[in-house]
A = this chain, B = another copy of it.
Amino acid sequence: MEAVIEKPVIKQDRNLCITHILPIRDALDILSGKWKIPIIVALCVHKRRFKELHRDVQGITAKMLSKELKELEMNKLVKRTVHDTSPVTVEYSITEYGHSLTPVINELRDWGMKHRDKIIYHPEEV
């Protein structure tokens, strides 16, 4: 971002651009989609059972929740614990690695709040 050059040095810019994008693609591969970040946020507030989570993450279907939780578990962001009660209860919680996303989520929430204010108070500009 700091490399503002008067004459466009296309090839240098392109390499800079690609190296800037790569780690973001790595992050997005894991986080992108409609539901993963909302699920992580819900679990940051409190560990949850499947049906509780289903109610917290409004609008998601059981099928999608199940699928997204599997992917998050595979990437070690979420932990699945089965309790030998009857009927069986399954508890999902955020891992330490999952907590490392806190700064990303906080920035996203800050921006989302500012954006919502902008839409509400200056809709003509957006």
The interface of chain A, by Cβ under 8 A from chain B, is 1, 3, 5, 8, 10, 13-14, 16-18, 20-28, 30, 32-34, 37-38, 41-42, 44-46, 52, 55-58, 75-76, 100-116, 119, 125-126
- How many copies altogether? 2
A103 adjacent to B114 (CB under 8 Å): no
| Residue among B45, B100, B110, B115 making CB contact with A13, cutoff 8 Å | B45
B38 adjacent to A25 (CB under 8 Å): yes
A75 adjacent to B126 (CB under 8 Å): yes
B107 adjacent to A24 (CB under 8 Å): no
With both chains docked as a complex, state the minimum distance between the C-beta of A23 and any C-beta of chain B, in angstroms. Answer: 3
Most chain B C-beta atoms within 10 Å of own C-beta, residue among A37, A109, A111? A111
